[in-house]
Structure 1
């Protein structure tokens, strides 16, 4: 069905506004382009001065050379890194007098450059210094280290990410950050392009993603299937090439007061590599234990020092992953019941195709990723910096196989001549383009730090359905009365897609105004654009392409908005041990209003910094996304017992939404409390424990389908019938929620074992509560009819379908040229209430421990090889039914009744491993990867 969203007058006004907005954006782009060219030219002119060569070697106190030490101009990022022999060499201006040397686990050194230009640096290990890397996400008033920050921050190096053996950034985080979870859904469609992820069970849209401290664009996709992340969209972090990352800073605390919308659960800042001493080439390949999912990848990362005046670091990453298929054996009786088919016909078909021809598991994916990061010193006090990335992904996945008893004919379009019709398998191809770029100017003069930047980014997804037909279930005819499509249907459909882009301008200023007082303030202007792209007419008319209907003309349009925000952030070191920090932010959006939020945090050190007490309290907000405000479409979904059905999603400004009293969306409001303790009992041992409590008011959800109640006297039934609406779903500020839990992180390093050194890490997250508070806020007409926006399935999806706890225990052992890693990740139980399942039952996924092994060998200074065996014990998801009461126990004691329920939640055993709604670790079993790295 199609929904009209605009009257003629409104459409005319909207078009004029969009034309003005387009002209404004073009003007801004042109101005920024000219600014960038002039800035680069001025940079080149200003740095045209004499320089000299500085070189040397960096060692530890035992005289062992230290590779990877950052060598930089004092207070500047530009510089180089020591090579595998601890040596460095770079050009510096003659006016440059000092260099700084920093390395994880060692105390930073700032020293004068001798006249000879030759330097020998000895670095000392520092207690707890492993985590003492300057952090940008904790406070905007002053750069703090992890141990000095009053907030819980994870600092993850690229070595840790690569050590997981995972192919993408999001999956690597899954096995390194305990409060981070990502889920893969069994029927992929558009979701196959990027999997939903979240921190602290808060959904993908409540974690703000930054690239070098600047906001990354959101994905164009909004999840509409029954999977975690339903009704939300987040930045596509899987698109970021791991080899381009220097480190990742994960702030596990609300930060709307510092960064604005989307930072309710926390902030993830991806810091890009800036090394200039060459790079490396990596070849990767892998396969599953079943022999499918074959992977091959090539990656090049390289850095260039531009005559001591600047740096450019670039990454090229190309990869291809083959299909991995894990279908179940389909139950004939369930099929016959669902589709009203003759049992003998079903059995005959399943004898040839026991899996009913289904293909589900992990889709085939090809990806090309390009990224560059750079900066140029204009003078001793100013720097021009930039970064840019472009990613293309092609994903080939499949819909459910259309069996001959489900679709009795393909109208002769898909069956080769002379062959007997045996059904057909629609394919779904997704093409994703994602880009982001930033150009900025930093100065440090007279104690003032100023950062002015412009960021742009976008994500576009286009969908193609092949090997399918338009069955014209609406019976459409042409002007002569001839039935459209069916026998005349195309078999390839361009189904349209979605596009999102933003333009962000930032001005950030900070200064230490007194010895112990640090202040920062700034502003941000952001313009966002969202487009629903129309599909081919045949892809949506009369029911559209079988399996995935395209976006109709009536539902395809552009929308945009802008917002302006300003913040102030003040930090005061009352004593050497006692820090207090306060921040406030005001935001004004063009489409729904304004918001003011604040944050207070503090930290107190005891016993010579061996114990740190910390805490924060803050308010936050999340603006409804343009996707949530505007998207509407026709959506296919599996209804247990009825097969695939079609339902309508209407936006909140549509006439249909007004008919049932759906209000316009407003911002979510949150209150975030965090209390923690950190301890460093010894030089090599440290741990942190943090309690968090997040309350969200007016949380936005995509509700379940609302149809007639069955009571002809109900207002809802009368409104739906009189307006020819079969059923609809919509977004609403439907509920208040509370999420509370505990994070634990511990590290014990430099343990002597034999002739090698061992490091142990333990990190965990435990959810104390994740629940709805109060009643669901249903529109009156829906509540009167005894219906609700949030049913048991949706509530379970939001609150219990994530692991109750997750723990990661890792061991890293270095012996000569060998390095061994062994990691055990425990995924706690999850609970779900599948649609159509008996209300007296629920599903529980059992606790599982996944073990990963990594072995690397350094042949020489330039060549190393790493082998990863992930999930070496072939652990697979496993679930069971759990009774909620006596009636549920009766069902569990009846094998026939249990079989019925099992068929309902697995689509007659097609998805027996994970049910229809996804899983939290791979159903592919053991996976083996090999990587060869060559320094260049």
Structure 2
């Protein structure tokens, strides 16, 4: 019998065997998922993440740590995307200032509990969300990740968000290693909301305008239909880079007279680099049919147009501080006499639609659903050139298309069984089928071809400086996808799970879950398990904990991604321009360098905590350890002068890869251990004359350690090659703040309400391949303030500021030749200072 047949048979037997023990099944899942938005505490909110079965659980009695963020909290941050909102509220979640690299230039990577977004599962209404098609192949933080881009979900469509801070792969499958975000859409059956927000940075522009509308109505008897739409325009900020002394080549040894009229702060992408235009829409609907059957559907649809400043180029041979400008040869004076700011253009269409039915049958509550999602990105480049074509080069290019598809089918069954314990045994079983596909399609030839142009030797300053040289092929800013780099990969996955939970006594809860998954590619078979428990020591005082194993299957993008890029690598502290090839792991060249098929990353999590509640006071403290084996990372650039040199290039040439200086690929190379604590304190103070104060303090600490690094493959063992170098190792353990403290006061008095938040981010280090190049940035406090006034029962006015006191990171970075880098690039609160906004909201 095949593994797939065994899986399906096991799920069927588990399903059929349980009725013998049945007494009463729980009712069909409740219609209303969204808790009333009263603005009070969240400890009595019924949660749906991390629990199954018919017995309701709240935040207070959950056996695992979970945060619930209400709709009002989402709005009061004054931020316009779900990633920034959650990064502002959830202490264990952080984001670096700059976006990802390569094709993911405009998607900021997120990290939770010190692990990248790849280890975080995102659900919408409890159903798996598809990932982005944009692989983060160049960024030093979360390199190689393809996480879910939650910014493509309308903020005003959200009823609440549940953030499970624990591994849950045994319940939900791949990716749920460090936690789960469950975005629960608003299901209010009547009324609507309209708002408009405008603002900008204090001193760096970046105007923002966002408007949103949502409305709901009843559907049948006890059903609902709710739709939402939001539109946003957010321009890029003025650069935070330093001025360079010279833009143009010297003329007879003297500065060019045109220098006086030029802007010498030319690195336009340092800071907020995107100009975003976005429209997001959604609906959420449920229709009762008879007494026990309910049909449901929900969907999101987004279009995003990004113009991202990616690389600025000048013809001068030197830049900031006299550093060598390695890209000056590409700035052909016939097209760009005084240099240029290149732009990446991203046109993204994203949607997901889910349909299903749920009800009661033969004593079981059942839920059958199907969901399909797609992220499609058109990649382009503007205001740039392919210098190898020469002065006839176009200046705008189509670079290629990337597509990520996900189709998920689920059957979930649950019932409660009396077994003589304090509470019935909740039994949940289910099966899941997933099909996914990643495609990377070639761009136009001019975006990657070698035109063979040689710069003429003449009496111009440019010709005197660069004459006789051959510029690198492809775009100077980023090379398009060639037919050789194009890819199309797909796979199927079958999974089955069993989830059991009960109260052994009135004080002691225990839950056990197991899940088996089969992939029809190199990910193979995986088995995950979880045990969680909670024991109430005294009224309001409880301990909780759990152990779980999990996994993360390699993404198809990691398996099949390939690109050729003009890049700058740092050898010691010296930048060197190279042409680098990113190899798919199954290519002949990668295999010749020792690449192996990617296998799943395996995790082992421990968590233990204590909770206390007394009236308006709620306290939680949780400690955890997450071990991840066989983590997938990028190799170093293999083939540079200091890392394999001509021996590597000879291997590449022998396997059909020519015209490049170095190569990289993904590999299972390291084992890590992350330890940390999360602490939360909440207190609500209601006074007669001063209003209500909802006070909270949340603290997160984590530290990651590399336990082992894989030996070099046999093909490289004699070449003295470094596969995973010092900088990459240090970025895993020191690039993100280890500590984050969030203090919040949510106050209201009559028609006036205000939310003040102070966040302290701990120190972090931007490392180098040599210790002398390391730069450490100290901890910083960042304050946010939102003040609102209810003009009428339906109209609310609000003003606010994010980063109220215009805080910047320490000016301690290594400044690059283009003048960027003084503030580093990893700061979780940005490089563009504070911003202010005003908002008008209307209830319909």
Q: TM-score, normalised by structure 1?
A: 0.79
Q: Pick one of 475, 478, 491 that aligns with 2:395.
A: 491
Provide the residue aligned with 2:289 in structure 1.
378
Would you say 1:566 and 2:496 are equivalent positions?
A: yes
Deviations 1:353-385 (A, max 9, x none): 221464432211000001000000012211000
Structure 2 CA distance for partners of 1:549 and 1:146, relative to 1, 3 Å: same
Contact 2:91–2:699 (Cα < 8 Å) also in 1: yes
Would you say 1:444 and 2:365 are equivalent positions?
A: no
Contact 2:579–2:662 (Cα < 8 Å) also in 1: no
Would you say 1:732 and 2:667 are equivalent positions?
A: yes
Quote the Cα distance in structure 2 between the aligned partners of 1:676 and 1:347: 68
Would you say 1:133 and 2:45 are equivalent positions?
A: yes
Structure number with greater CO (CA < 8 Å, separation at least 6) is 2
Provide the residue aligned with 2:627 in structure 1.
695
Provide the residue aligned with 1:478 in structure 2.
none
Would you say 1:539 and 2:454 are equivalent positions?
A: no
Contact 1:711–1:717 (Cα < 8 Å) also in 2: no
Q: Pick one of 146, 161, 167 that aligns with 1:254.
A: 167
Deviations 1:505-545 (A, max 9, x none): 00000100114211100010000010001100111111222
Deviation for aligned residue 1:129: 6.8
Provide the residue aligned with 1:230 in structure 2.
143
Quote the Cα distance in structure 1 between the aligned partners of 2:250 and 2:333: 23
Structure 2 CA distance for partners of 1:914 and 1:777, relative to 1, 3 Å: farther
What secondary structure sits across from 1:443 in the alignment? strand
Q: Pick one of 386, 404, 413 that aligns with 1:470.
A: 386
Provide the residue aligned with 1:677 in structure 2.
610
Q: Pick one of 264, 274, 280 that aligns with 1:369.
A: 280
Provide the residue aligned with 1:617 in structure 2.
547
Deviations 1:238-284 (A, max 9, x none): 11111110111111111110011000111110000000221111111
What secondary structure sits across from 1:231 in the alignment? coil
Structure 2 CA distance for partners of 1:865 and 1:129, relative to 1, 3 Å: closer
Provide the residue aligned with 1:330 in structure 2.
243
Provide the residue aligned with 2:10 in structure 1.
none
Structure 2 CA distance for partners of 1:488 and 1:763, relative to 1, 3 Å: same
Quote the Cα distance in structure 2 between the aligned partners of 1:690 and 1:471: 56
Structure 2 CA distance for partners of 1:341 and 1:808, relative to 1, 3 Å: farther
Provide the residue aligned with 1:269 in structure 2.
182
Deviation for aligned residue 1:720: 4.6
Aligned residues: 774
Would you say 1:193 and 2:106 are equivalent positions?
A: yes
Provide the residue aligned with 1:37 in structure 2.
none
What secondary structure sits across from 2:352 in the alignment? strand
Would you say 1:596 and 2:527 are equivalent positions?
A: yes
Structure 2 CA distance for partners of 1:701 and 1:932, relative to 1, 3 Å: same
Deviations 1:868-902 (A, max 9, x none): 1111111111153xxxxxxxxxxxxxxxxxxxxx6
Deviations 1:809-844 (A, max 9, x none): 001111111001110000100112135xx4334111
Q: TM-score, normalised by structure 2?
A: 0.87
Quote the Cα distance in structure 1 between the aligned partners of 2:141 and 2:449: 30
Deviation for aligned residue 1:790: 1.3
Contact 1:218–1:234 (Cα < 8 Å) also in 2: yes
Provide the residue aligned with 1:67 in structure 2.
none
Contact 2:698–2:741 (Cα < 8 Å) also in 1: yes
Structure 2 CA distance for partners of 1:230 and 1:359, relative to 1, 3 Å: closer
What secondary structure sits across from 1:873 in the alignment? coil
Provide the residue aligned with 1:631 in structure 2.
561
Quote the Cα distance in structure 1 between the aligned partners of 2:434 and 2:398: 32
Please show how residues 895-914 of structure 1 align to structure 2 within 5 Å.
Answer: 905-908=814-817, 910-914=819-823
Please show how residues 897-936 of structure 1 align to structure 2 within 5 Å.
Answer: 905-908=814-817, 910-915=819-824, 917-936=825-844
Would you say 1:747 and 2:682 are equivalent positions?
A: yes
Structure 2 CA distance for partners of 1:471 and 1:701, relative to 1, 3 Å: same
Would you say 1:302 and 2:302 are equivalent positions?
A: no
Q: Pick one of 505, 508, 512 that aligns with 2:412.
A: 508
What secondary structure sits across from 1:160 in the alignment? helix
Contact 1:833–1:842 (Cα < 8 Å) also in 2: yes
Quote the Cα distance in structure 2 between the aligned partners of 1:347 and 1:200: 54
Structure 2 CA distance for partners of 1:450 and 1:341, relative to 1, 3 Å: farther
Contact 2:240–2:832 (Cα < 8 Å) also in 1: no
Q: Pick one of 845, 852, 855 that aligns with 2:784.
A: 852
User: RMSD in angstroms over aligned alpha carbons?
Assistant: 2.6
Quote the Cα distance in structure 2 between the aligned partners of 1:312 and 1:713: 62
Would you say 1:667 and 2:600 are equivalent positions?
A: yes
Deviation for aligned residue 1:103: 4.4
The unaligned stretches of length 5 or more in structure 1 are 1-72, 82-101, 107-127, 416-420, 473-484, 881-901
Contact 2:113–2:178 (Cα < 8 Å) also in 1: yes
Deviation for aligned residue 1:758: 1.1
What secondary structure sits across from 1:430 in the alignment? strand
Provide the residue aligned with 1:183 in structure 2.
96
Quote the Cα distance in structure 1 between the aligned partners of 2:508 and 2:252: 77
Provide the residue aligned with 2:16 in structure 1.
none
What secondary structure sits across from 1:159 in the alignment? helix
Contact 1:210–1:269 (Cα < 8 Å) also in 2: yes
Contact 1:140–1:258 (Cα < 8 Å) also in 2: no
Quote the Cα distance in structure 2 between the aligned partners of 1:731 and 1:400: 25
Would you say 1:824 and 2:733 are equivalent positions?
A: no
Structure 2 CA distance for partners of 1:521 and 1:350, relative to 1, 3 Å: farther
Provide the residue aligned with 1:576 in structure 2.
506
What secondary structure sits across from 1:701 in the alignment? strand
Contact 2:487–2:561 (Cα < 8 Å) also in 1: no
Provide the residue aligned with 1:56 in structure 2.
none
Q: Which has the higher helix share?
A: 1
Deviation for aligned residue 1:412: 6.2
